[in-house]
Amino acid sequence: MQANLTQLNSFWEDRPVLVTGGSGLLGGFLVRRLLNAGASVHCLVRDWVPDSVLLSEMQDKVRLVRGDLIDQATVERTLGEYEVDTVFHLAAQTLVPVANRNPASTFESNIKGTWTVLEAARRSPMVRQIVAASSDKAYGDQTELPYSESQPLQGRHPYDVSKSCADLICQSYAATYELPVAITRCGNLFGGGDLNWNRIVPGTIRSVLRGQPPVIRSDGSLVRDYFYAEDAAAAYMLLAERLAADRSLIGSAFNFSNDQPLSVTAVVDLLLDVMGADVEPVVLNIASNEIQEQYLDSRQARERLGWQPRFSLREGLGETLQWYRSYLEVSASPGLSPSNRSALKVVGAS
């Protein structure tokens, strides 16, 4: 089911918003929804990623601030000069294999980056609500499934630890300073605009469209939530709205999920079915430091926030497929660069 992005929400009309991580997968979806809701959007950008949805399709509609997330002076200046009311903190190093190879840079981005944003917000009197991205990985390895928000955060490997720490830091600022922050914990996000090709959804789509077999890094048995980024963006905005109206939500964390855990193999099979492809994946079985089963219970978000996903998993994969078909067709065209694809109709990205 298509989300209605054109209906103006008076809560967001002309509201100054800062999005960190706007050039990432979720950032592209969130910025688009905010713009369509009438918000005044500002994005803190460290690395210039021309092919990102933010920069290729929306950079003329937002205010871009060049700077590093861990530079508190830059974050404070941005919040102060643009009179930011609402902060969405999405920026992070999000790849587990990169965290395993480079833990220090992951800790710096994910942990220091979080306290930098929160401390800057604490010192900025205009900030009224903050939504911070945690992850299902913050729970670590648990014996009880699905994960509920009452379970302890006990990451052990570098990426998981970085998300556990960032999550707890958010809770600390809420409890100690009453900073108006709420926390999201989502499963594996997918959607058009994700150019990290080693992730299972974009990697599988690109391989099949190129006539190659898709590659599974693990043995295919790992079980996860797969959550369409359009639904995640809508959830973030809803949480910010609820937080503005209900201060009892300060410091609260919410799981967002389709409540449909699947193995990697099952997701690839479903995606191949959506694509109408008859091909056998290549299973490398080289993944390390991965938890066998992780999936979420989203009951609290449904009951306390009145939230529910708008897309089934199959519908989300179908929307995602259409985006990559358009993107890869433009990328392969000799007369067009990827940055020109905003001039074309990109199904599933609007």
Condensed to tens digits (0 to 9), the pLDDT of residues 292-315 reads: 999 999 999 999 999 999 999 999
pTM greater than 0.85:
yes
CA distance 34 to 176: 30
Condensed to tens digits (0 to 9), the pLDDT of residues 218-228 reads: 999 999 999 99
Of the pLDDT bands very low, low, confident and very high (cuts 50, 70, 90), residue 331 is low
CA distance 192 to 259: 21
Q: Are 196 and 304 in contact (CB under 8 A)?
A: no
CA distance 170 to 185: 13
The structure tokens listed for 169 are 């830091």
Specify the DSSP class assigned to residue 20: E
Task: Tell me which of 159, 226, 324, 327 is the catalytic residue.
Answer: 159
CA distance 136 to 218: 19
Condensed to tens digits (0 to 9), the pLDDT of residues 59-103 reads: 999 999 999 999 999 999 999 999 999 999 999 998 888 999 999
Condensed to tens digits (0 to 9), the pLDDT of residues 96-144 reads: 889 999 999 999 999 999 999 999 999 999 999 999 999 999 999 999 9
Q: Are 223 and 262 in contact (CB under 8 A)?
A: yes
Radius of gyration of the chain from Cα atoms?
19
Of the pLDDT bands very low, low, confident and very high (cuts 50, 70, 90), residue 4 is very low
Of 134, 18, 17, nearest in space to 69 by CA: 18
Comparison of pLDDT for 341 and 117, the residue scoring more:
117
The predicted structure's pLDDT at residue 110: 98
Q: Which domains does the chain have, with CATH numbers?
A: 16-193+226-260+293-311 (3.40.50.720)
Would you call 324 a catalytic residue per the annotation? no
The predicted structure's pLDDT at residue 350: 23
